[in-house]
Amino acid sequence: MHHDSHGTATRPSVESDNVELGWLDARDDEPFLPDARRSDDDGDGIPRNATAEEKTRKPRVIWLTVFFLISSLSFGIAVVPRMNLIVSLICRQTLQGDFDPVVIGGYNRQCQVDAVSAHTAMVQSAGNVISGVLSAAVAAFLNVLSDRVGRVPIIAYTATVLAAVEVVLVLLAKAPSTTSYRWLYLAYTLDGLSGSFATVMAMSSAYISDCVDEEKRNVQVGRMHGAMFIGIAVGPAMSSGIVAGSGQKSPLLVFYLGLAMRAISLVYLPLFVAESLPHARKGLAGAFPVFSRARWQQITKPARGVDAILIKLRKLSPRKWLDRLVPPSSPGSRRLRRNVVLLLAINLICYIAAMATSDILILYPQVVFKWGNVENNMFMSVINGFRAVVSTLGIPVLIFFFQRRRSPALPLDSTPIPHTTPTPAPPQPTTSPTSPAMLDPSAFPDLDALTSPTTPISPYQPHQHPSDDPAMPPPPPPATHQDTLDPLDRTLIVTAILFDIFGYLGYAASPNGILFTLCGAAAAFGAVGLSTSEAALTKIVAPSSSSSAAASPSQARTARAMREEAMAGGGGSSSRVGELMAGLGLLQSVVRIVAPAVVNAVYGATVAVGAPGTAFVGVAGVLGVGAALTWGLVVG
C-alpha cells in the first residue's frame, strides 16, 4: 500500500496476462474474498458477524434447475413464432403488387416464395454474425467477471437482456407497416450483448463446480441440460396448442406468454437461488480496480509499433490461458494440460454436432419427406424430449451400469495399488550403510518391498527417504487420481459420441420419417458427451475438497496452500473455473458462427444434385475424430 502526498492510500498496479480482462485479476495486496485474512471467523469459514440468513441460505443446484426450466420454456414457446415473425416482417416490405395482407407473426402462405426466403436467409446470416461476434467478446468478459461479482448477477443480467430482445420483437410487430425490418438487427445486437444463452449455461456449470463435489458433477450438469431440453421440447408443443386454439386472430399471444415467463424467472432468481460465491464482491464497484498513477501512464502512453502488437498477442496467447488454468509448477501438470486440451477439443466437436445441424434438421425432412410445420414441431419436441430424458435419467443409469462393471475393490475416487506378495520383515537397520552390490534383484524377487536408501519417495510409502546421491535423478511422479481423468468420464463420452455417430449416419440413410425420428432419438445421447466433458473440465480446474482429503499429508498441505492463495487474492479454483468458462464460451461462440455456415453451404451445394444427406455424413465424420481423441486422454 502506497501513500501519496496527501496521505491517500492508493493501490499498486499489477501486470496481468488475462485474456481480454487482464485488469480484472486479483491484486497482490487485496484478498480475493472479503475478510479472507481476518481471524474473526468460524471454523467453517463464515464470519462471526454474518447474519443468520447468510449462514442458513446455502446454494442449492435444484433451485437453479427450476430457473433453467422456466427460462427454457419461455425460449421454446416462442422459437417457431419468432421465425414466422421475422419472415412476415421481411415479407411485408419485399412483396409488391396484389397480395393478401401479411399477418405479422402468423403463417403466411404468400410469403413462401424464393425471393422472401433468400432475403430472409441473408438477414439471418448477417444477424447471426452480429450476435455471434458480440457474444464471443461479451461471454468471455462475463465469465471472468463472475469470479468477482458472483454467478447469480451474471445470470440475471443475461436473462434481463434476453427479455429485452423479446420486447423489441413485440414492438416491431405492433409498429406501423412503414417501419423497416432492419430494426431486427437491434434484436440481434442485444442478443450478442447478453452473451446469449450459452453464457447462462456456462454460468450453470460454474455454479455447480462451486458447490458440488467431483463425483456428483456429471449428474448435476446433466440435470441442468435436461431442464433446458425439457423447456425446448415442451415449449413448441405449447405454442402449437395456443396457435391452433386461437388461429390467426392473436399470433402474438405466445410472445406475451413468453415475456410473462421471463418476468417470473427474473423475480424467482434473486428470491430462491443463493449465490455460490457468497463472499464475492457485491456490485461492480469492488470488481473494477482503481487505476494507479503508473497504470494511468501505461494507458495514456501505450506501446507502439511491434511492441504493442506483441503485447496484444501475448495476452491472447492460448498457452498463457492454459498456464493459468493448469500452472506448469503444479504436480502432474503435463498430464493435466493434455487432458484439458483434449477435453476442450471433444467438447467443441460435440457442440459442433449440436449447433451445425439445427437448420438442416428442419429443411431436410421438408425436402425429402415433404413435412410441414406440424410435423417439424412434433419432430423437434420428440428429439428434445429424448435429450431431456437422457440428460436427467440416462446419465445416472449409465453411471450405475458402468460402476457395477467395475471391481468393487477399486472405488471411483481411488487409485489402484499394485498387489504385492507378503514379504518377510526387513532386517534391523545397522550403523553401516547398505551396499548397492548386496541388493541383487535375482536374489531378492520382492526388492521393491524393501526399504533402501536408494529407493525414491512414493506417495504410498511416506516413511522412506530419498538417496543423498546427486547422481541418481529422481524418477517422474506416478500418475494419481488428482492428475488423471476418471475412466468413467471417458466411458460416458465415448458412449455418447458413438450413439451420436449412429444417429447422424441414420439421418442420411433413413427412407421415411419414422426411422428419421428414431435416429434423432439415438443422436440425443450426444447431450451426455457435452455435459460430461464440461463436468470433467471443472474437475481438473477446480477439484473438490474431498479429493484433497483423500490425498497424502503433503498433497493435503498443497491443497490448503492453494486455498489460502485463493483467499489471499492469488486466484484459485473458483477463479479458474470462471476463466475456463470464459475461454470455452469464446470458442463455442466461434463455433456458433462458423459451423452452421459451413454445414448450410454443404447442404445447399448437395441438395441440388440429389445428395442432401452428405451434410449429416460430414458431421458424423467430425464426431469420429472426437471419438479418436478420447483415447488420448490420460485416465487413472
Tell me the per-residue pLDDT of 561-595, one tens digit each, with 9 for 90 and over: 444 444 333 445 555 676 777 778 778 878 877 88
Give the separation between CA 251 and CA 241, rounded to whole angstroms: 12
Residue 49 lies in a domain: no
Are the CB atoms for 506 and 521 separated by under 8 Å? Answer: no
Give the separation between CA 122 and CA 116, rounded to whole angstroms: 10
One-letter identity of residue 153: P
* pLDDT band (50, 70, 90) for residue 308: low
Give the separation between CA 148 and CA 284, rounded to whole angstroms: 8
265 has pLDDT over 80: yes
Last residue of a domain, one of 248, 266, 282: 282
Q: Domain count of the chain?
A: 2
Are the CB atoms for 81 and 251 separated by under 8 Å? Answer: yes
Percent of the chain with pLDDT over 70: 63
Task: Pick from 9-18, 76-85, 447-456, 625-634 the range whose average pLDDT is largest.
Answer: 625-634
Give the separation between CA 335 and CA 479, rounded to whole angstroms: 8
Closest CA to 573 of 317, 217, 327: 327
Helix (H, G, I), strand (E, B) or coil at 419: coil
Q: What is the mean pLDDT of residues 345-353?
A: 90
96 has pLDDT over 70: no
Does residue 403 sit in the same domain as residue 511?
A: yes
Residue 541 lies in a domain: yes
Residues 623-627: contacts with CB within 8 Å, 24+ apart?
623/349, 623/350, 623/353, 623/497, 623/500, 623/501, 623/504, 623/526, 624/501, 625/349, 626/345, 626/346, 626/349, 626/350, 626/497, 626/529, 627/494, 627/497, 627/498, 627/501
Give the separation between CA 475 and CA 274, rounded to whole angstroms: 47
Tell me the per-residue pLDDT of 473-515, one tens digit each, with 9 for 90 and over: 555 555 555 567 788 888 889 999 999 999 999 999 988 889 9
To which H or E segment does residue 3 belong? strand 2-3
Residue 460 lies in a domain: no
Helix (H, G, I), strand (E, B) or coil at 225: helix
Tell me the per-residue pLDDT of 372-392, one tens digit each, with 9 for 90 and over: 666 777 788 888 888 888 877
Domain limits for position 119: 62-282
Tell me the per-residue pLDDT of 520-535, one tens digit each, with 9 for 90 and over: 988 988 888 888 888 8
Give the separation between CA 346 and CA 493, rounded to whole angstroms: 9
Does residue 371 sit in the same domain as residue 243?
A: no
Does residue 507 sit in the same domain as residue 619?
A: yes
Residue 427 lies in a domain: no
Give the separation between CA 59 and CA 578, rounded to whole angstroms: 17
Are the CB atoms for 18 and 316 separated by under 8 Å? Answer: no
Give the separation between CA 620 and CA 498, rounded to whole angstroms: 9
Residue 90 lies in a domain: yes
Residue 277 lies in a domain: yes
Per-residue pLDDT at 472: 53
Are the CB atoms for 143 and 581 separated by under 8 Å? Answer: yes
Give the separation between CA 48 and CA 55, rounded to whole angstroms: 10
Per-residue pLDDT at 164: 95
Among 57-61, 198-202, 499-503, 568-572, the least confident range:
568-572
Task: Pick from 36-50, 288-302, 615-629 the range whose average pLDDT is largest.
Answer: 615-629
CB hemisphere CA count around 176 (13 angstroms): 2
Per the prediction, the chain carries an average pLDDT of 71
Does residue 505 sit in the same domain as residue 632?
A: yes
333 has pLDDT over 70: yes
Task: Pick from 9-13, 62-66, 577-581 the range whose average pLDDT is largest.
Answer: 62-66
* pLDDT band (50, 70, 90) for residue 248: low
One-letter identity of residue 186: L
One-letter identity of residue 26: A
* pLDDT band (50, 70, 90) for residue 464: very low
462 has pLDDT over 70: no
Would you tell me how many other CB atoms lie within 10 Å of the CB of residue 211?
A: 18
Give the separation between CA 387 and CA 391, rounded to whole angstroms: 6
Does residue 230 sit in the same domain as residue 375?
A: no
Per-residue pLDDT at 272: 92
Give the separation between CA 3 and CA 9, rounded to whole angstroms: 5
Give the separation between CA 260 and CA 241, rounded to whole angstroms: 18
- Which comes out higher in pLDDT, residue 367 or 475? 367
The CA angle 23-204-411, to the nearest 5 degrees, is 110
Does residue 238 sit in the same domain as residue 377?
A: no
The CATH number of the domain where 248 resides is what? 1.20.1250.20
Cell 534391523 sits on residue: 428
Contacts of 228 (CB under 8 A, 6+ apart): 68, 72, 201, 388
Per-residue pLDDT at 190: 94
Residue 268 lies in a domain: yes
Per-residue pLDDT at 309: 59
Per-residue pLDDT at 11: 42
Helix (H, G, I), strand (E, B) or coil at 303: coil
Per-residue pLDDT at 19: 37
CA distances from 442 to 255, 285, 308 (A): 81, 71, 64
* pLDDT band (50, 70, 90) for residue 426: low
Does residue 271 sit in the same domain as residue 348?
A: no
- Which comes out higher in pLDDT, residue 333 or 489? 489
Q: Percentage helix, strand, coil, to 5, in the chain? A: 65, 0, 35
Tally helices (H) and strands (E) across the chain. Answer: 23, 2
- Which comes out higher in pLDDT, residue 2 or 103? 103
Per-residue pLDDT at 279: 67
Among 172-176, 444-448, 584-588, the least confident range:
444-448
Does residue 514 sit in the same domain as residue 600?
A: yes
- Which comes out higher in pLDDT, residue 84 or 430? 84
Does residue 269 sit in the same domain as residue 378?
A: no
Last residue of a domain, one of 226, 259, 282: 282
- Which comes out higher in pLDDT, residue 251 or 131? 131
Contacts of 47 (CB under 8 A, 6+ apart): 35, 38, 40, 41
293 has pLDDT over 50: yes
* Helices (H), ranges, 301-456: 306-315, 318-325, 333-356, 360-368, 373-389, 395-405
517 has pLDDT over 80: yes
* pLDDT band (50, 70, 90) for residue 312: low
- Which comes out higher in pLDDT, residue 470 or 581? 581
Q: How many residues does the chain have?
A: 636
Looking at the whole model, is its pTM more than 0.85? no
| Cell of residue 208, nine digits | 455447480
Are the CB atoms for 342 and 486 separated by under 8 Å? Answer: no
Give the separation between CA 452 and CA 390, rounded to whole angstroms: 54
Question: What separation, in Å, do the N-terminal and C-terminal C-alpha atoms of the chain show?
Answer: 46
Contacts of 38 (CB under 8 A, 6+ apart): 47
Closest CA to 584 of 533, 623, 619: 533
* pLDDT band (50, 70, 90) for residue 49: very low
Does residue 335 sit in the same domain as residue 275?
A: no
CB hemisphere CA count around 394 (13 angstroms): 25
Sign of CA dihedral 345, 349, 355, 359: positive
Last residue of a domain, one of 282, 316, 341: 282
Does residue 278 sit in the same domain as residue 363?
A: no
Q: What is the mean pLDDT of residues 312-340?
A: 73
Q: What is the mean pLDDT of residues 1-27?
A: 42
Does residue 328 sit in the same domain as residue 227?
A: no
Residue 175 lies in a domain: yes
Closest CA to 590 of 105, 99, 132: 132
Q: What is the mean pLDDT of residues 445-470?
A: 43
166 has pLDDT over 90: yes
Q: What is the mean pLDDT of residues 185-192?
A: 92
